[in-house]
Amino acid sequence: MLMRPWGGACTCPSQRGSAQFNMAATRLAALVLLASLSIGSALQHPSLNIVMEWGDRLEEELYNIVRKYSGVEELKNYYRDHQVNLNVVDVDGLALVQQTAKEIDGLLSKKMKALETIVKAAEDLALNYTYDPDLAIEDVHWYDAKNLQDGDPILTYDPQFRKPINRTYSAIHLPTDIWKGDPKIANELKWSDKLDEVFYANTVEDPGLLWQYFGSSKGPFRNYPAFQWESPGTVDLFDVRRRPWYIQGASSAKDMMILIDNSGSVHGLTLTLIKRSVQELLKTLGENDFVNMAWFNTEAHYVSCFDTFVQANVRNKKVLEVAVLEIGDGNMSDFGKGLEFAFRAFDDFNTNSTSQGARCNKIIMLFTDGGTERPVEVFEKYNKDRDGMGMMTTITLPVYNKSEGLGYLSEPPNVDFLEVEPDNPSKEDVRKNMIDRMSGAVTIETFVRSQDERYVDLVNRTYIYGPMNSTIFSLGLVLPEYRQKRIEVENIDIPTGRDYLQTQRSALFIAPWNFCDDVLTNSSHADFLQDILEKLSGFDFPAECDEPRLKHLLLDTVVTERLAEFWNNKAVDFKSDGIMATFVSTEGGITRVFPESECQDFEDKRDTWQQTFFRRSLDNDYFIYSVPYNSDHQNWPVNYTIMATSSVTLNDMGGIKPAVVGVKLDPEIILGTMLHITDQNNTEGNTTQCPLGQSCSDVIRSCRDSENLLCVLLDDGGFIVTTNQDDQVGDVGRFFGEVDGHLMSEMYNQRVYRREEAYDFQASCKKEQPKVASAGSRVSFVPRLNLADALNLQWWTTNAAWAYLQQNVYGILFSSSSTMAEELGEEGSIDENVSCVRLQHEYYLGPTTYQYWSDDCGNCSRKMTVRQLRYSNLLLVVADPVCDSCNNTPVIQEPQKTNNPDQCHVTPRYRRGPEKCYDHHPEEDASHCGAAALAAPSLFATSIQLSFLLFIMKLFGAT
């Protein structure tokens, strides 16, 4: 039995709100005792042996109580009693992968057929449509997705889509910067309107088909079925043409070298515009593209640490986006030097790279203000016989994502298998084999992150993989050790199971899984339970239901009903031993809670496989203690409980783990037990206490002496479970390093705790507000721009054009506090969500199970002792209070934005590019490409200047 706090009273379940009051009373009684012990006494820091004894007693006390009330041993016997109704069978992982791959393959085949139907229809409709230059958008029937509202009569709630939709029509999203009055837009909407019939026919053919889209190069984005468009921010800046999936579908893979002329003539705003255009160009590249960037004048150099082409993923492009801003200007321009540098880069890349590169189109993008040099010899040397290897100029559009929430990212990250899994050589092999469409299986020791991303466990996992035959994909399955075998229920009495589903002995929850095709999993638990009961109203399982899954559900219902009866018989002792509740969660989807009054915390924990306590308990062979995560100690609830859970392991039945049992403990009882145990050994070698009021030179400090001794229970992730410190009561549930950075650092250095680095490459961060200089732009004479000049190409090659460009456009493009910010609102210009990388250090208990050491902080020293508690994930920490001269910098466990890993030192991973390459078109005239690209330098310069003009006009929303 757990010992009650010395001098304190137990807290019954109905008095949970007074837990902190009772803890305070416990500590007050401790102070009275300490005042007596301190008279004439020289209190000593407990030695390692003393703390070891404390740990021995504490681990036994805790283990006995949780084992007694959880019913872990009893539940094992209940499952054994039902062996006649079930078989334990081996899981054939490879067969499971092959079967799943076949099912997904069939599913994708249906989707591909629907997609091909849309493509064929769109091509035919566009080909046979006669353009009407006088067509007005008012003459076209269409629904503007942004104008549809809740309650719109054409929208009806659809449970399949979980929102109001219209299955008859599609809705159109038009980018904000497109003028609806343009006849091109009206004609685009007119001919594509017929796609609604194709969309509808596809859903009839495949009822499981959900959203269907058509994105036009002119900007309209047709969504079927029609629904209300929800903009993530105050200004809708979504443009389908800028989405990665659109770009990859509309272009072929390419290796691109971006060459930037940074000679002396390219200075000021001209260079600034080039830099911005380059940044926007990078956003048009996808994961199948490879890119690098160099500047040139009289010499040529790469702009960043990349000395070869790199995959155009988000992180590599970020390096280039930052590096281009550092480019300065000077010297004369030598186009031959720059172009030869680019061609050599292609040759080196082709020679030295094995699995890297697009292996398709090769492009040099040249950004310059023009020039008179004609480096024909360079093209004669490198490009004379290369079809399609000519110069290109791309006009790019800036996309400002001002969403307040997550919304959509301007560049969502593409995540590699090894970026969501801790890396090791064995997984590298798995990854390569999957890319090469091979089959296989391997067992790997690896770290596994918990569902709440606060813990890691070092466990064995079996990776099984194989190809999906009619696709380019491979499918992988990861099996834990506890899933190498499974329960196969043969016989179960449906009426009995149905009756137990309606039990009143304990609260019962069913996991919201797909037990039957026509039962909605997103309904309330009461509705979900009622639907399942209706399916079980007969003596046979309905055809539309998953019979093996329902059998497993009923087996767990029957078995755990006996556990509820066991708890009911133990309930009389709950209060005295600090038991607030008991519960069980099963592999088959049942959760029971006793008493029923304590069920409120489990309403959102119905899906057992999504719970951290469930998975962590299955991965470990001891009790897992945890408290709710405390992210805001100011609002820490006074009625929290300590949860202890353990898997139910049947070693005589193949080692299966059919369930996890647990208890919720009164934290006052846990603290009181720790304080009471430390009272029993407060003299070296003597279990008797020093007589009160007498001098004892060998008196050992107790955990009741909170002013002079820190005693804390931490879990294996370093989070506080209980503490004797009055000022840290509100820190329970916090990471200990935030409370006592010095001691956490010491435990890490002593290998009491180790840590695993976890990078989140899919994180989203708020875009940082740029620093704005206080000085304004210089004032100079600027000619007035009229429409005639704007349409005159020759005018844009004059100095007057550039004067207008530099003065009137600069403030709008690059000032965050000017008219543009006012038009977009104060949220518009800086609240952009951008892809970023976050680093989190996840701690776990290391090889040091006990340790005593001292740290000399200069003016003082600090003694520290730790002891891991057996049968649990707990660590007893006993230490002197932190000295003022000790470095107590907080140790942060939460994810932090980082610039690591350094992309300059990341080794490219094995990959295979797209199998098809579209590097030319039969009707393409390539006679002007290659060596003749710079034959007319003045025209070339004009095209670049015009690119900047169009770049600016698009920013204003002109067409």
DSSP string, 196-243: HHHHHHHHHH-TT---EEEE-TTS-EEEESB-----SBSS----GGGS
Most confident of 213-227, 781-795, 902-916: 213-227
- Least confident piece of the model among 140-149, 219-228, 766-775: 766-775
Q: How far apart are the first and last CA of the chain?
A: 80
Give one word for 479, left, alpha or beta, with left for phi > 0 and alpha for psi -120 to 50. beta
Q: How far apart are CA 532 and CA 902, in angstroms?
A: 53
Distances (CA, A) of 760 to 763, 764, 770, 895, 904: 6, 9, 24, 8, 18
> Which spans in 4-47 are helix H?
19-37
DSSP letter for 701, please: P
Angle at alpha carbon of residue 339, lines to 334 and 342, rounded to 5°: 135
154 in Cβ contact with 143 (< 8 Å): yes
Q: What does the pLDDT look like over 41-79, one tens digit per residue?
A: 457 889 999 999 999 999 999 999 999 999 999 999 999
Q: What does the pLDDT look like over 561-570, one tens digit per residue?
A: 999 999 999 9
Q: How far apart are CA 629 and CA 734, in angstroms?
A: 6
Q: Judge whether residue 675 has pLDDT over 70.
A: yes
- Count of other CB atoms within 10 angstroms of residue 773: 6
Q: How far apart are CA 364 and CA 780, in angstroms?
A: 36
Q: How far apart are CA 913 and CA 90, in angstroms?
A: 38
176 in Cβ contact with 121 (< 8 Å): no
DSSP letter for 161, please: T
Task: Name 791's Cβ contacts closer than 8 Å, sequence gap at least 6.
Answer: none
Interval 3-9 mean pLDDT: 32
> If DSSP codes are grouped into helix, strand and coil, which group holds residue 488?
strand
Interval 922-944 mean pLDDT: 40
Res 638: pLDDT:
64
DSSP letter for 751, please: T
195 in Cβ contact with 203 (< 8 Å): no
Res 684: pLDDT:
44
Interval 359-369 mean pLDDT: 87
Q: What does the pLDDT look like over 392-412, one tens digit per residue?
A: 332 222 222 233 333 444 555
Most confident of 112-116, 299-303, 360-364, 823-827: 299-303
Q: Judge whether residue 647 has pLDDT over 60.
A: yes
Task: Name 345's Cβ contacts closer than 8 Å, sequence gap at least 6.
Answer: 257, 292, 294, 308, 309
% of the chain with per-residue pLDDT over 70: 78
| 777-799: b (≥16 Cβ within 10 Å) or e | eeeeeeeeeeeebeeeeebbbee
Side-chain-facing half-sphere of 721: CA atoms under 13 Å: 25
672 in Cβ contact with 577 (< 8 Å): no
Q: How far apart are CA 47 and CA 38, in angstroms?
A: 19
% of the chain with per-residue pLDDT over 90: 49
Q: How far apart are CA 3 and CA 713, in angstroms?
A: 17
> If DSSP codes are grouped into helix, strand and coil, which group holds residue 459?
strand
**Cis-peptide, bond into residue 225, ω within 30° of zero:** yes
Res 829: pLDDT:
38
> If DSSP codes are grouped into helix, strand and coil, which group holds residue 366?
strand
pLDDT band at residue 542, thresholds of 50, 70 and 90?
A: very high
DSSP string spanning 572-628? Answer: GGTTTTTEEEEEEEETTSEEEEESGGGGGGGTT---GGG-HHHHHHHH-SSBEEE--
Q: Judge whether residue 533 has pLDDT over 60.
A: yes
- Least confident piece of the model among 527-541, 623-637, 645-659, 868-882: 623-637
- What's domain 251-399's superfamily in CATH? von Willebrand factor, type A domain (3.40.50.410)
Residues of the chain with CATH 3.40.50.410: 251-399
Q: Judge whether residue 778 has pLDDT over 60.
A: no
> Which spans in 691-848 are helix H?
736-739, 741-749, 787-790, 799-804, 810-814, 819-824
Strand partners, 717: none
606 in Cβ contact with 510 (< 8 Å): yes
766 in Cβ contact with 846 (< 8 Å): no
Q: Judge whether residue 349 has pLDDT over 80.
A: yes
Residue 868, token pair as written in the block: 């891991």
